[in-house]
Amino acid sequence: MSSRLIGFIEAVLIAAVFLIPLGGALQPGQAPMAAGPPLQPGASVDGAKIAAADADPGEWLSHGRTYSEQRYSPLAQINRSNVVKLGEAWEFQTNTVRGLEATPLVADGVMFVTGSWSKLWALDAKTGRQIWAYDPKVPGQWGRYACCDVVNRGVALWKGAVYLATLDGRLVKLDAKTGKPAWEINTVDRTRPYTITGAPRVVKGLVLIGNGGAEYGVRGYLSAYDAATGALKWRFYTVPGDPTKPPENAAMAAALKTWSTGGTDHKWWVQGGGGTPWDSMAYDPRLDLIYVGTGNGSSWNRNLRSPGGGDNLYLSSIVALKPETGELKWYYQTTPGDDWDYTATQHIILADLKIDGVMRHVLMQAPKNGFFYVIDRETGKLISARPYTTITWASGVDMKTGRPIENPSARYKTGAPSAQIPGPIGAHNWQPMAFNPQTGLVYIPVIDGNFIYAQQPKLAYEPGAWNVSDFAQLGHIVMGAILKGQVPAPAKGFIRAWDPVAQKMVWQVAMSGGWNSGMLTTAGGLLFAGGSDGFFAAYDAKTGAKLWSIDLKTGMTAPAITYTLD
């Protein structure tokens, strides 16, 4: 569950101005405006260019700026001493009240940004003037399959082309200068309720895209398509399929042993199994490994999808894959046998940290389950894991096995609801965190909230509908508490600055609500973030002191970016 109805996206122009593109929809027959820069935007963008992004910090060429997805900008023209002078430079109306969650990309003076219903705009990054617009015309009825609004988190750039994934499962290649489609392919089984809300990545000439839909019943997978031709090169399934058929590869053969039918009428492969990789990815060019976060099971409750128990690989896991083939090199499962919608699709960051006097090449994640993980990204071995928020479902992580130490009451059965922290919205959802190598801190948009889980008396799988928990029983429990004057506490939101080496919080800022924006941090000693209350602010990255803010009158979830022009 990962969205909210909001009204804009935001970006910070690090050149002494503040820029806010406000969000919306294209009008039928809308014509492109005046052409932008004469050069083919993004013509030079390839793997080497993205890997060397710090050599040209004035652009934002990939979803997390670099393959490491740190969301750290080396730009320092705006800093702690002059950030108070920030003001609005321009705004772009997208005319929508639906969710906007995109990270804009900027190359050669052109900004590429998406909105609701997978619509895409190319804007003059200096003025905000529209250069061209593209509407993939997602069928309106497909919105029923989007668990958390008809959102889109952005595009990928590669050799003068823009790659857009649509809500209804298509991948489109467009000319970056004109917006004219070069090809369009379907990436999903259209008889199943798949959706795509995440941004593609391009690695070694392959466009990588996952999917969503686990709540409704699908089998998750990551696909790799040839960036030039659109040909499917490989597909990595995140959960096993029909056990009466040969598994696709060794990874699926191993996963099959961790699932059980238990003699039920409804098999996991009929439900789909879930595990959809709907958001996070990162890439290490040195190790030549892609890292992907996977989602929850379908249905949520393991007793119903895998009655004999089991870890249910590769649900709620980080998987490391070879980019040429999709071969699994290692995996780490954050929540074995997930019962609580504790996805591991949250933001993945790669960094080099000195731990116990030794420089380690690590992967960091703060998934929904409330633990902050530091993992050796070459081997998948757990280095450390500590709670970054309140947790009731587990008391810690066993460092010998890497498994959570579960609270015996955490798993719920028929007639025995279980209240746990965090809930299915997670202690951290899709909104990206950021890492600042100057401070050594990770900045996490944290959610402190609880949830009552209740198991259905029996699986009532319905294709195309939510198949999660017993919300009817939950409704009765909540209403009963309200009638007794025991109104459930609302979720609280924080920005938490986390030391990943010491595994402790350094500072925090309380937000007005539980659902807030992603993070951006800069070499100017700043952290930028927005809130559900409409305020966008700059904080001291070392101390958390608020240095500047502006009231934008509408809540934010999208993360900011930085770029320079002239």
Alpha-carbon distances, residue 286 vs 68, 283, 435, 550 (angstroms): 11, 9, 20, 41
Catalytic residue (one of 341, 448, 499, 566) = 341
Q: Under a CB-based contact definition with an 8 Å cutoff, are residues 20 and 91 in contact? A: yes
Residue with tokens 């070459």: 378
Q: How many CB atoms lie within 10 A of CB 390?
A: 14
- 223, 93, 64: which is closest to 156 by C-alpha? 64
Q: Under a CB-based contact definition with an 8 Å cutoff, are residues 91 and 128 in contact? A: yes
- Cα separation of 235 and 257, whole Å? 21
Q: Under a CB-based contact definition with an 8 Å cutoff, are residues 122 and 130 in contact? A: yes
- Cα separation of 373 and 362, whole Å? 10
Residue 212 structure tokens: 């969503």
Q: HEC states along 481-509? A: HHHCCCCCCCCEEEEEEEECCCCEEEEEE
| Bridge partners (DSSP) listed for residue 441 | 436
Residue 476 structure tokens: 């009765």
Alpha-carbon distances, residue 356 vs 91, 179, 384, 497 (angstroms): 47, 51, 12, 21
| Bridge partners (DSSP) listed for residue 235 | 223
- 525, 520, 541: which is closest to 12 by C-alpha? 520
Active site annotation includes 341: yes
β-strand pairing of 520-522 with 72-73:
parallel
Distance of CA 77 to the CA centre of its chain: 29
Compute the CA torsion angle 50, 52, 57, 59 (nearest 10 deg): -20
Question: Which are the catalytic amino acids?
Answer: 341
